[in-house]
Amino acid sequence: MNQIDISFIIIEYYTLGDLKKCIESTEAKCLDLSYEIIVSSNSLYPSEKKSILLNDYKNVRWIFNGKNLGYAGAMNTGIETSSGKSVVIMNPDARIVSGSIYSAYKYLMANQDVGVIGPKIIDLDGKLQDSCRKFMTPVDLFCRVVKRVFLKKDVLLTQRLDCGKIQPVDWVIGAFMMLNKKAIEKVGLLDNRYFLYVEDMDWCKRFWDCGFKVVYFPNLVVEYKGDRKSISPAIYVRFINKYSIYHLRSYLRFMKKHSFYLYKNQ
């Protein structure tokens, strides 16, 4: 039996409405590829609901996690059962809207020094999102939070990035990432210790450390609009919420793990 081209792994947490549209857009863009779709669900559905889902999505492989494993943990359960030459991890509210998933796959397979590809990401209005970024120092993080909270800037594009050019970047967000399976085998899975946030930046850092490039690939366009719950409107009043605590905790873990002071001059 030949190995399939792409394993799509979608995380799901009580987001069935988004999930249906996500699966439909994925299937529509993969007519020239062999693929599988794996849904890793952190939703603790009762057995009756699980049976309905299995019947409604016969072409999808479901993994019903016994508890909420967080983003990294749920994605890892999907990756471990995948059989593709490449893996795409994606959020249920992400949709492939234009460009060719086939061209992204061929680029990844043709460039064995590339471990991760991130597409151009736009929101529902077609506005470009800041989906690829520099590794953040503590000063960078502080400035980013200030701009979002006080200046109310939701999107913070990197000034020096040519958004129409294929190019290496520090890291790309985990809303949609395509990865070479052989590279994952060398680098390892996502770090389960990140329950939510920063696991994507950590993973990209580890790919770079193992000699693999992380590449921004604007020839593939994905529509996605994250909730940005860690910088939600409530924070303007309270300045903190549980998601911002998750974010800060994860970032502190990242700094400790990677001795990030080494990057203060980048």
pLDDT tens figures, 18-77? 999 999 999 999 989 999 999 999 999 999 999 999 999 999 999 999 999 999 999 999
Please, what's the largest Cα pairwise distance for the chain?
58
Task: Select, from the ranges 91-100, 138-147, 160-169, the one with the highest average predicted confidence (pLDDT).
Answer: 91-100
Size (the chain), residues: 266
Q: Which carries the bigger pLDDT value, residue 154 or residue 80? A: 80
Task: Choose between 235 and 31: higher pLDDT.
Answer: 31
Domains of the chain: 6-134+158-226 (3.90.550.10)
Q: Which residue has the higher pLDDT, 144 or 161?
A: 161
Query: What mean pLDDT comes out for the span 232-251?
Result: 58
Q: Give residue 231's pLDDT.
A: 45
Q: Crossing angle for the helix pair 199-209 and 242-258, nearest 10 degrees? A: 20
DSSP state letter for 262 = G
Beta strands in the chain (DSSP E): 6-12, 35-41, 60-64, 86-90, 95-99, 114-122, 132-133, 167-168, 171-172, 176-180, 213-223
Question: For residue 128, is pLDDT > 90?
Answer: yes
What is the residue-averaged pLDDT of the chain? 86
pTM of the complete model: 0.86
Give the residue, 210 or 147, on which the prediction is more confident. 210
- Return the pLDDT at 20: 95
Give pLDDT tens digits for 104-126.
999 999 999 999 999 999 999 99
Q: Which two tokens stand for residue 59?
A: 């072409």
Residue 27's φ and ψ, nearest 5 degrees, are -60, -35
**3-state class percentages of the chain: helix first, strand second, coil last, to nearest 5:** 40, 25, 40
Write out the DSSP string of 41-93.
Answer: E-----HHHHHHHHHH-TTEEEEE-SS--HHHHHHHHHHHH---SEEEEE-TT
Confidence label for 222 from pLDDT (cuts 50, 70 and 90) = very high
Q: Which candidate, 220, 228, 172, places its Cα nearest to that of 200?
A: 172
